[in-house]
Structure 1
């Protein structure tokens, strides 16, 4: 494509209009604009910025593919039945982006030869041409969006709510899988069944996982998300102190094609505060409701989520009843409650055996069990976390010998 025509096509991006704000596209546009008129210094300045953008992104093709993937536009809003005119416009935009990627530094510098009397321009840095995007027309792009999803949440499978209330992707999410968590098969099957129903668009419950510390409640939630990440399941980790951000989170997820688990870890309240009341309303009973593509999975060491004192149970019968209803009013809103109790001796040693086999720790069973029990006594009890720490210690000692 002739460079002046390419410059006009980039200015006229329509279906993918948002890509004009991408730093790499913007650097190309500014460089092409300076091919006509202005002066050699202006071109050199724009060209240098373009080279810097190329070096920063390293792979220009991947950078633009990510930009297209994370974009929300008229095409993504009408994927069910996009208009033919819109598909044609998307085709023109893709052609322009692929023509941009086909350029290398030499082609741009050579194009200045007939415009400026500045041979030094040919000695400027260079960059190679890049591969085209994996779709060549609007119909192929629509198919890509249907298969891969789109928008902000396409960036990762895991996100976290920041202190300012914004949602940010987690660059290196926990990769734990269910096979890394031996034991608690009944509990895992309950969560998997509910999650599959959610992914299939059927009725699914919010889940409260409660029980003793170190039993793998949080790890199980993360592992379930990893099991179904390829089906578009995302997790948004939210601290209990950010519960008032729920309306903003709901608004951001409402238009997304993905399905979300909002993960509230270690959920406990010292009293019936604003966060307590807000979470009750958001789960059930609020006017706004919540998106159909979102469920809440929470973990807690407390069944009723709010700390009780003996003072809460003092007074006449009416007050006792009211106090107890307040304490249970939030946990009762979770449709599924799953208990993670401390394992007994046999369950604990089963977990130890499984982790030892996975780690390649070869010890006689009697010796392994004896050491594991001693370790649990020193660590104040049996739990999957204790078993994992025991195996880690044994492996460290093995490599030191």
Structure 2
């Protein structure tokens, strides 16, 4: 494509117009525009383009990601984009691939010819990049339907920041359910509910409560990892972020994905404004809860609210009102799943499973004896204690073998 024509067509991006703000596209466009100005301007823009390309491990991948994470007139009509949208998207894809096809030699030759400045031949070179993997708008539409689009296509896990903005978690916990022995009934309930949610059927918000170290948080993360390929995302929010629920709705509204809003270690004082806000969100608010969001919360408290002896004293009416307030939030979770401290047999079963998975080779009786001693020193049995025990044994074996 002739460079002047390419420059004009790049300015006419429509469906993918948001990409004009992407640093890579901006650098290409600035360099083409500089060919219509002077040698100094070209050299400056060409150097900036080289800097951006050098910073990209793969320019084609960077451009594809920009297309993938965009929200545009095609994603807004993805069920049935009009012929006009498909045609415009085809134009935009052709332009973006033509930009990627440029190499340093082509641009420098054009500049030397335009400005009669032989010194421009000494500027750094860069190779052409591979084109985008889409031939036309129909192929792009198929890609969006298969892989999703927009901000949430960047990752599986996100965290709410204190300013109300969401940030992708680049390296989320990769734990899988097969790595969490025990609690089979609890996991089956959560999986059944999650599958219904992904299928667009009625599903419940879930409260996972119980003793510390029993695997509540790990189970939630593992469930998300099981269904990440089906478009399930997780958004971690602290209780102090509950006020950002309206902003969260707005951010997820145009997304094709489904989201578990993960509230870890949830507990409140009765005077906490977030307590009332969460109650309204789950059930009773005027706006209702979006169908693409569901809450999975973990807590060491079944009723989520700190109680004192004073709350249980006074006349019968006052005590009843107090207790109704205490239970009013937990009652709004459709599923309450208990993770209790395992008994001795279940604890040792978990230890055996983890030992087998990690390759720890100890006689069964010795394994049980050491695991029980470890639990006594760690103030009780739990899946977390079992994992810590296995880690310690592996470390001791490694030290003995390397010493």
Q: TM-score range by the shorter chain?
A: over 0.9
CA distance in 2, matches of 1:111, 1:136: 28
Number of the residue aligned with 1:169: 168
Mapping 1:46-85, distance limit 5 Å: 46-85=45-84
Q: Distance in 2 between matches of 1:251 and 1:198?
A: 20
SS of the residue corresponding to residue 113 of structure 2 reads coil
Q: Which runs of 4+ in 1 moved over 2 A?
A: none
Residue of structure 1 in register with 2:185 after alignment: 186
CA distance in 2, matches of 1:290, 1:63: 35
Q: Equivalences for 1:9-20 in 2 at 5 Å?
A: 9-20=9-20
CA drift of 1:346 comes to 0.3
Is the 8 Å Cα contact of residues 253 and 291 (structure 1) preserved in structure 2? no
Residues of 1 paired with 2:126 and 2:224: CA distance? 40
Report what 1:34 is aligned to. Answer: 34
The CA deviation at 1:321 is 0.5
The Cα shift of 1:255 comes to 1.3
Deviation by residue 1:5-63 (Cα, 9 ceiling, x = unmatched): 11011000001010000011000001001112x21111000000000010112211001
The 3-state SS of whatever aligns with 1:228 is helix
Q: CA deviation at 1:119?
A: 1.1
For 2:228, the equivalent position in structure 1 comes to 229
Alignment of 1:1-400 (within 5 A): 1-36=1-36, 38-400=37-399
For the residue of structure 1 that corresponds to 2:291, the secondary structure is coil
Residue 270 of structure 1 deviates from its aligned partner by: 2.6
SS at match of 2:306: coil
**Cα distance, 1:113 vs structure 2:** 2.2
What are the superposed Cα offsets for residues 50-83 of structure 1, whole Å, 9 maximum, x if unpaired?
Answer: 0001011221100110000000000000011111
1:254 is displaced (CA, Å) by 1.6
TM-score of the superposition, structure 1-length normalised? 0.99
Alpha-carbon distance in 1 for matches of 2:271, 2:339 = 25
Shift of 1:246: 0.6
Q: TM-score, normalised by structure 2?
A: 0.99
Structure 1 CA distance, aligned partners of 2:397 and 2:49?
A: 53
Q: Distance in 2 between matches of 1:110 and 1:93?
A: 26
1:272 Cα offset (Å)? 3.4
Measure how far apart 1:4 and its partner are. 0.7
Q: Distance in 1 between matches of 2:373 and 2:188?
A: 31
Give CA deviations for 1:271-326 in whole Å, capped at 9, x if unaligned. Answer: 33100000000010000112110100000000000011110011111001000000
Measure, in 2, the Cα distance between the counterparts of 1:396 and 1:130.
47
Q: After superposition, what is the alpha-carbon deviation per residue over 1:230-268, rounded to whole angstroms, capped at 9, x for unaligned? A: 000000000011110011101111211000000000001
The unaligned stretches of length 5 or more in structure 1 are: none
Q: Distance in 1 between matches of 2:201 and 2:234?
A: 19
Distance 1:382 1:222 in 2: 22
The one-character-per-residue Cα deviations of 1:199-220 (angstroms, maximum 9, x if unpaired) are: 0000000000000000000000
Give the distance between the partners of 1:174 and 1:128, measured in 2 at CA: 37
User: Per-residue deviation at 1:115?
Assistant: 0.8
Residues 19, 68 of structure 1: 8 Å contact kept = yes
- In structure 2, list runs of 5 or more residues that go unmatched: none
- CA RMSD for the aligned pairs? 0.6
Q: CA deviation at 1:198?
A: 0.2
Q: Distance in 2 between matches of 1:77 and 1:205?
A: 28
1:391 deviation in Å? 0.2
Greater Cα shift, 42-51 or 103-112: 103-112
Distance 1:335 1:52 in 2: 54
